[in-house]
Amino acid sequence: MSWNRSLLVVVIVITTAYGAFAQTAVKPDQSPTVANPPGSLPALKSAFQDHFLVGVAINRGIATGAAGRRGKELVKNDIALVKEQFNQIAPENDLKWQIIHPREGADGYNFEPADAFVEFGQRNNMDIIGHTLVWHAQTPNWVFAGTNPPSGADDVTDSAGGNEQAADAGASPGRRRRGFGGPGRGYTGPRASRDELLARMRAHIHTVVGRYKGKIKAWDVVNEAISDSGDEVLRNSLWLQIIGPDYIAKAFEYAHEADPDAILRYNDYGLENPAKRQKLITLIKLLQEQKVPVHAIGSQAHVNVSTTFETMDQALTEMTALGLPIHITELDVNSAARGQRGTGADIAANSDATQGGLVSDADQRLAEAYAGIFRAFLKHRESVKMVTFWGANDAVSWRRFGTPLLFDGENKPKPAFEAVLRVATEAQPNAE
């Protein structure tokens, strides 16, 4: 049966079922918005099974089943969609330092949400990703605090400044929780010494990676260490200021000690931008020369509907030359009109720009962009081993006003879903 006919059948079945349901109607607040009974759609994970894993970042509601603001029915449906479509998961927030290790010391951990996330993956036979160990954002102040005076007023505008502050100022939906415990503000108090910070980093990595050893398959060890400004390669974060540039190598060494079998990724955004990509290549080559155990490139791919096959093809061609597998780690495609400023170095601010309306023909533009992007992934299937969407549907996306995903807020497939499946079909040797 063709996809269109399948869709028609699904629509008829749902409409009929809905009619019957509506007659025996339940309480008014339980709107029966369950779009796709599990098993009714072709699955992305099956369509690409010969090429790469297809994953999704899940929130706590999906991992635990807790209804939250989204409500019980929709969360149930989110879970059904995740199980139906994806064979790999990443945690949207619950393994970030701020959440899993909010207070100092061995008893300062909060493992419950992360445990639930890992158990969800195990129960459903999914490959599980750990995100993220060392990052300039969503890291509590205590990590950097100590008795040493801050090294100068200029230093503290650092990593949480620049584009993140611009994003805040731009009245973004405010879901990109930046900064060191406070949105967009650097920690300005007395600092830890290099040795103290390294010891905290090592303890954190050993505890967290060690706890999920053998369960979490790949880790984003260092997230977003590359600078967006000028020729500067490394972001001027507190990690860099306090430890020095070898904080990256140290993080990978500690993670490798903690789980020698885990795939260790370096993860960053904006790698579609040639200047930023060149910095990535410089950094990875340096790490490789130093025999640092970095095993894969994580390319976030928070892109927009202006992204073409050619852009993605070029990015993948250059990154593949590093000889490492490439994981697309946080894919979404912004349809907001204000979010179309290319893939320049301002991508963080740019990608946050989701207010003020969508581009015209947004659904169609999104479908075309996704088709081009997936064609590029397939062209590079020798190196692209995993493609993870950053969110299950538009309603739970951090860029929800930019409607960047394949499913709408009720988990109904958008034209982009069909377009991506079509790319998979075209890639089959016997495709008609």
Residues that bind ligand GLA (CB under 6 A): 131, 176, 223, 269, 300, 330, 398
Catalytic residue among 92, 253, 272, 330: 330
The bridge status of strand 302-304 relative to strand 326-334 is: parallel
Nearer to ligand GLA, 35 or 221 (CB): 221
At how many degrees (to 10) do helices 309-320 and 274-289 cross? Answer: 20
Least spacing, CB of residue 133 vs ligand GLA, in Å: 12
- What distance in Å separates the CA atoms of residue 255 and residue 259, rounded to the nearest whole number? 6
Helices 274-289 and 247-258: crossing angle in degrees, nearest 10, is: 60
112 is catalytic: no
Long-range contacts (CB closer than 8 Å, 24 or more residues apart) made by 202-205: 202/250, 202/254, 203/106, 204/97, 204/101, 204/133, 205/133, 205/134, 205/251, 205/254, 205/255, 205/258
Residue whose tokens read 């059904």: 80
Provide the CA 252 distance to its chain's centre, in angstroms.
Answer: 20
| Of 354, 317, 319, residue with least CA distance to 338 | 354
* Enclosing H/E stretch for 304: strand 302-304
DSSP state of 358: B
Least distance in angstroms from the C-beta of 249 to ligand GLA = 20
Query: Pick the catalytic residue: 224, 272, 368, 418?
Result: 224
Enter the DSSP assignment of 394: G
Q: How far is the CB of 57 from ligand GLA (least distance, A)?
A: 8
410 among known catalytic residues: no
Q: CA 79 to CA 57: how far, in whole Å?
A: 12
Shortest distance (Å) from residue 42 CB to ligand GLA? 28
> Min. distance of Cβ 302 from ligand GLA in angstroms?
6
CA dist 251 and 209 (Å) reads 11
- We find the least distance from the C-beta atom of residue 398 to ligand GLA, in angstroms, to be 4
Q: Which residues are catalytic?
A: 224, 330
